[in-house]
Chains A and B, each alone.
Chain A
């Protein structure tokens, strides 16, 4: 137990036991319990006075919870799969099981509970810390990392302590987030040009002009599916990311967001945000740009590591406006 990281609110983490055979801790979060074995994460809750449970392959579970932690619960709904997930209320967070699954919700066997953000964050971090073994990086694509399976075998805190990069205006500016000169080029981006733009400042204007090679910057991203800010125009945030394998969550946003494909190809599965029924599959190629409306959930598939621009509007009052119908879920009618 002394191996639990002392992070913010770590005293609120409830450890309910340690499995003698597998070596893993189990955790309690309100009326949810979380446990893992050699292959699966198991989440249990009570509905209609009966215990209900859900299993996820442990590698998929750890990739999902890794994103939720790194993104600080992100915008709107982060569905780990078709049953469990979280909804961000920016100060508190709902954890749900089956609530946004049409069948489970209609049967009344779903369950949702609200938690103060520090408590659920500390619990999720403790789960990651305990359940991620040495050699498994839940931020990496499967081909890049070891196995999540088996009994407790060491830790990989270095891999799970990475977060979204916060940028004030643009990376590389004075007092802003750094460029990625010290990170190696990913094996799937070795053909991406590494030249930097020419910047010439007249005397007296040194440091006022700035440019950098965004594709080079992305080619050196050491994580997959992790939107990180690279330019800030008031509440308009460019959050490019490099994608490989499957987006580990199904994201249902509480606002409209946009995708632009910089390189290669991604297929997006689009479903109804509330019940998960399928709406469309969208295939995006270089230069394609499209909206993700506010009433859908999406999950992307990328065979080759690809460069994607995620574009967010961080204005705080947007969720109420979409929820109340003041704003239509689609950004443009034509």
Chain B
């Protein structure tokens, strides 16, 4: 008898999309996509919305090379779904406008004090604290999941990514 279990995770190079066995209604009502497939077909650091609940979103991001800096007036969270990603943090000299929600572009070199960095491997989660700037770096392509609010950088392309 085999008593060992193998936990199956997905990655950019190894995922299999599930299915909808429809009885009545429309498959599109379930807004079904796969975050690895979305990242595979995305430009690095594009923020593709894969889940939306009123103003709140989950974004799939292809991490590859270095991103620009981002900032946000509220906490955001990132989970590495496959590869290894480094996140550098800056305490910005200038405060983020608290009326803005969602991720904001902070340019290629905002002014601030280096706070440190985290290195995330598969399944690791980090807080992107309100009012800091952050930047991703990944040697190899990998997939990030971001929990945030819909912002100016959020890209919706449901028709391209979802089962119909």
Contact = CB atoms under 8 A, between A and B. Distances in A.
Q: Do A and B belong to a common assembly?
A: yes
- Residue with the greatest number of chain A CB neighbours at <10 A, chosen from B28, B29, B35, B116: B29
A289 interface: yes
B53 A311 contact: yes
Interface residues on B, range: 35 or more
Interface string A245-285: 00000000001111011111100000000000111111111
Contacts of B149: 233-234, 236
Contact of B56 (A215, A230, A235, A330): A235
A284 B32 CA distance: 9
Nearest to A293: B29
A281 B37 CA distance: 21
Contacts of B23: 278-281
A187 interface: yes
A313 B7 contact: no
A291 interface: yes
B96 to A, nearest CB: 15
Contact of B159 (A260, A262, A311, A334): A334
B104 interface: no
Interface string A307-321: 100011101001000
A230 B28 CA distance: 29
Interface in B135-159: 143, 145, 147-149, 156, 158-159
Contact of B121 (A193, A265, A282, A289): A193
B162 A334 contact: yes
B115 A233 contact: no
B123 A289 contact: no
Given A258-B58, A264-B8, A285-B16, A331 B52 contact: yes
B47 to A, nearest CB: 14
A234 B37 CA distance: 28
Interface string B1-24: 000111111100001111111111
Contacts of B28: 330, 333-334
- Residue with the greatest number of chain A CB neighbours at <10 A, chosen from B18, B145, B159: B18
Interface in A161-187: 169-170, 173, 187
A288 B148 CA distance: 19
Given A214-B79, A279-B23, A285 B18 contact: yes
Contact of A188 (B7, B34, B58): B7
A190 interface: yes
Contacts of A230: 125
B24 to A, nearest CB: 6
A176 to B, nearest CB: 10
Given A170-B127, A264-B7, A283 B19 contact: yes
Contacts of B116: 199-202, 205, 209
B126 A197 contact: yes
Given A208-B129, A213-B123, A231-B77, A291 B31 contact: yes
B16 A263 contact: no
A245 B92 CA distance: 48
A214 B123 contact: yes
B45 interface: no
B7 A282 contact: no
B25 A280 contact: yes
Given A197-B126, A285-B10, A334-B158, A280 B22 contact: yes
17 contacts: A170-B77, A170-B127, A191-B5, A191-B6, A192-B7, A197-B119, A201-B116, A202-B116, A208-B115, A208-B129, A280-B27, A283-B21, A291-B29, A291-B31, A291-B32, A304-B5, A313-B56
User: Which 10 A-B pairs give the minimum distances between C-beta atoms?
Assistant: A215-B123, A286-B10, A211-B126, A236-B56, A334-B158, A287-B10, A290-B32, A201-B116, A313-B53, A198-B119
